[in-house]
C-alpha cells in the first residue's frame, strides 16, 4: 500500500439519469485534476427520484450506471466506487448495489445493501426502502489492492450497525467505504459522529461520499461528504454544496495509530 489521494464526491442527484451522470463525470474530472487516484461516488449517484420511477427505470439505470463506471475508470485510469444504484431483483424489486471498479474497467467488488432504511424520521417523513428494495444476504466484500490498501464496502444506513465494520476490519480492511444519501434531519446529529466511531473503533480510514440538498418532493439530504483518519480526525469535509472532499490515505499513519492504540488485538469477544 502506498500513500495516495482519495476523493469523496458530493452530488445533488435528481430523477434524471443523464443529468446525474454528467454531474458525476464533472466531479470525477475535478477530483482527478486535484490528484485523486481513488474516487468514490455517493449512494443514488445516477438516480434519485420517486420509488415507482426508480423501479420503472431500474434496468436502464443499472445498465447505464455500470457502463459509466467502467468508462470513467478506463478514461481516467483510476479506481472508482459507485456508491449505490438500483439493479433489478426478483419480485419486482431492486438491489441497492455498490460497485468497486478498477482502472481497466474490471469489477473488483459488488455489494448489495443489507440494512434497509424503514424509519419514521421525527421531521414527519416516513421512509420505507424495503417497499422497493430487496435486502442483500451477504456480508460486505473485502477487496485487497496492493497499491490502495484493503477496502470494505457498505452503504449509508449500514453505518449504524458496527458489527459489519468489525467484520471488515477483522478481514484486514484499511479503508471503510460509507457512500450515503443521509437524511438532512438525522445527518445533523449522527452523520459525523457515526463515521468517526466506525473509523476509531476499527482503526481504519472511513471514506464517505454523500448526497446534498433537495432532490425531489420533500427529500433533502445532509451533505458533508467526509474522509476520516484512523484516529477519528476529519481530514476533509465537502460542506453543503456539490463538490469533492480530498485527503491523503497514508499507510504510515495507519500503522502509527494501530501501534499506539492496538485495540483490535485486545478484543475479548470476536
Q: Would you name the residues annotated as active-site residues?
A: 43, 113, 156
Which candidate, 95, 37, 26, places its Cα nearest to that of 66? 95
Q: How many residues does the chain have?
A: 270
CA distance 42 to 24: 10
**Rounded distance between C-alpha atoms, residue 95 and residue 85, angstroms:** 8
Percent helix, percent strand, percent coil in the chain, to nearest 5? 35, 35, 30
- Tell me the CA distances in angstroms from 82 to 42, 96, 253, one per residue in order: 7, 11, 26
Closest CA to 249 of 23, 37, 46, 86: 37
- Residues 245, 42 contacting (CB under 8 angstroms): no
- Residues 61/13, Cβ–Cβ less than 8 Å: no
Give 230: exposed, middle or buried? Use CB within 10 Å, 0-12, 13-18, 19+. buried
Amino acid at each position: 500500500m502506498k500513500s495516495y489521494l482519495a476523493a469523496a464526491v458530493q452530488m445533488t442527484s435528481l430523477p434524471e439519469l443523464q443529468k446525474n451522470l454528467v454531474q458525476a463525470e464533472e466531479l470525477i474530472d475535478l477530483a482527478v485534476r486535484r490528484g485523486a487516484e481513488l474516487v468514490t461516488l455517493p449512494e443514488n449517484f445516477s438516480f434519485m427520484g420517486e420509488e415507482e420511477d426508480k423501479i420503472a427505470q431500474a434496468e436502464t439505470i443499472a445498465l447505464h450506471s455500470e457502463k459509466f463506471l467502467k468508462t470513467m475508470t478506463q478514461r481516467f485510469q483510476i479506481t472508482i466506487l459507485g456508491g449505490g444504484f438500483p439493479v433489478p431483483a426478483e419480485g419486482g424489486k431492486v438491489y441497492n448495489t455498490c460497485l468497486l471498479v478498477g482502472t481497466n474497467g474490471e469489477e473488483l467488488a459488488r455489494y448489495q445493501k443489507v440494512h434497509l432504511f424503514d424509519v419514521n424520521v421525527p421531521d414527519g417523513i416516513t421512509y420505507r426502502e424495503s417497499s422497493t428494495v430487496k435486502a442483500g444476504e451477504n456480508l460486505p466484500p473485502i477487496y485487497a489492492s496492493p497499491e490502495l490498501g484493503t477496502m470494505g464496502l457498505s452503504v449509508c444506513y449500514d453505518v449504524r450497525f458496527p458489527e459489519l465494520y468489525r467484520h471488515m476490519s477483522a478481514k484486514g480492511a484499511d479503508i471503510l467505504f460509507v457512500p450515503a444519501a443521509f437524511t438532512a434531519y438525522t445527518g445533523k446529529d449522527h452523520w459525523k459522529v457515526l463515521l468517526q466511531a466506525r473509523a476509531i473503533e476499527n482503526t481504519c480510514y472511513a471514506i464517505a461520499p454523500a448526497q446534498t440538498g433537495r432532490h425531489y418532493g420533500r427529500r433533502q439530504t445532509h451533505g458533508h461528504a467526509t474522509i476520516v483518519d484512523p484516529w477519528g480526525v476529519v481530514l476533509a469535509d465537502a460542506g453543503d454544496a456539490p463538490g469533492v472532499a480530498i485527503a491523503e490515505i497514508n499507510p504510515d499513519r495507519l500503522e502509527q495509530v494501530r501501534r499506539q492504540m492496538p485495540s483490535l488485538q485486545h478484543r475479548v469477544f470476536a
